[in-house]
Amino acid sequence: MNILVINAGSSSIKYQLIDMDTELPLASGLVERIGLEEGVVKYKTFVNGEKKELKETFPIPNHTVGLKRVAELLTDEKVGVISDPSEIQAVGHRLVHGGEAFTKTVEITEAVKAKVKELFPLAPLHNPANLIGVEVAETVFPNAKQVGVFDTAFHQTIPEKAFRYAIPVEFYKEMGIRKYGFHGTSHKFVSEQAAEYLGKEDAKIITIHLGNGASMAAVNGGVCVDTTMGMGPLCGLIMGTRSGDIDPAIIFFLAEQKGYSVNEISSLLNKESGMKGLTGQTDMRDVEKLLDEGDENAILACDMYAYRIKQFIGSYAAVMNGVDALVFTAGIGENKTSIRKLVCQDMGYLGIEWDEEKDKNRTDGVHEINTDNAKTKVLIIPTNEELEIARQTLEVVK
């Protein structure tokens, strides 16, 4: 079975076609700058061990034009990997927010689409774009089953004592204000990989997803029991441009003393804070250059970044009454030795002991970077959200 995975944003479509017999991608790419003067389509194929790439630039006024071009490329005589769109039996869509309505992956019906619309206020930047992707895919691939995989679903097992906020009850009951969490597809994928590696179904695992957006999850026996992001993706860890946890009094202070509007404060905390606010840089590679130059702001920022992660490791070890493994994943988590070192140092009380040589000599797949005698495993596991979406889609349609 061939499954097309789609992640539709407000001005982009990320896609990957996966052969589920081998679980390998046949093609992948990105449609971006939708609605602007010049759009871009990037397309890669992976056939018989050979990779081909092409890039096109032309006006892409809407998502329909972009996805139709992707379908044409997939079936093109020269660069295509299938002969007809009907060879795509299912389309798996990344849907960011499922609220409390969606605790698992579902086939998309009119009722599902209506519910996703109801949830627009919880994810105003993501859910509308995600739904556009669904509706366009229905027209471009009419014979394929459309399936929704929700970022929040994996976290719906979090107990009420962990997901509720200590505010008047009616705000939860009438407006759904509670912790939901995000990056669920990634946390699910790597925690399952870790449990399989450990050979322990009841493993207590802390997953650490570090990209431009960052979050952690406490996974006990395959069940998520807590996560760092909340009702939205702002809280928890320090991120590329997001502040992570702050004292709410700061918001009132800025409004009262600086006259900032709600929108200005939201922009400040979401787009101008985090590593950007501390160092002027959002990319950890650029931050590392500053580190090498001895930049004091970069040194402090990385210390703060790691300190926040360590705080949650301690918290989640307490919540689960132990920890069997830490898992580093996503762009920074998988690639930045300096961050892993900062996080793991002085954590011997929890059985966490980092091995520098193992970290430097990384191998593909699950890679162990703890010392031989450490009680707690420290693992690097590459995330694969597209494959996880495809697997969940297959479970629904097979």
Give catalytic residues, as residue numbers: 151
DSSP string, 151-210: TTGGGGGS-HHHH--SS-HHHHHHH--S---S-HHHHHHHHHHHHHHHT-TT-EEEEEEE
In terms of C-beta distances under 8 Å and separation of at least 24 residues, what long-range contacts does 56-62 make, across chains too? Answer: 60/31, 60/33, 60/34, 60/35, 61/34, 61/35, 62/34, 62/35
The number of CA neighbours under 13 Å toward the Cβ of 1 is: 18
In whole angstroms, give the CA distance from residue 282 to residue 124: 23
284 is in an annotated binding site: yes
130 is in an annotated binding site: no
115 is in an annotated binding site: no
87 is in an annotated binding site: no
333 is in an annotated binding site: yes
In whole angstroms, give the CA distance from residue 353 to residue 378: 8
Degrees, nearest 5: CA angle 381-387-392:
115
Q: Which tokens belong to 29?
A: 């790419």
Beta bridge partners of 89: none
Sequence-distant (≥ 6) Cβ neighbours of residue 176 within 8 angstroms: 99, 100, 122
297 is in an annotated binding site: no
211 is in an annotated binding site: yes
Beta bridge partners of 367: 380
283 is in an annotated binding site: yes
232 is in an annotated binding site: no
212 is in an annotated binding site: yes
385 is in an annotated binding site: yes
Cβ atoms 29, 66 nearer than 8 A: no
Give the start-end residues of each E strand in the chain.
2-8, 12-19, 24-32, 39-47, 50-58, 88-95, 106-107, 145-150, 204-210, 214-220, 223-227, 325-329, 367-368, 377-380
334 is in an annotated binding site: yes
209 is in an annotated binding site: yes
In whole angstroms, give the CA distance from residue 118 to residue 18: 31
Return binding residues.
Answer: 7, 14, 94, 209-213, 283-285, 331-335, 385
Return binding residues for substrate.
Answer: 94
Return binding residues for Mg(2+).
Answer: 7, 385
Return binding residues for ATP.
Answer: 14, 209-213, 283-285, 331-335
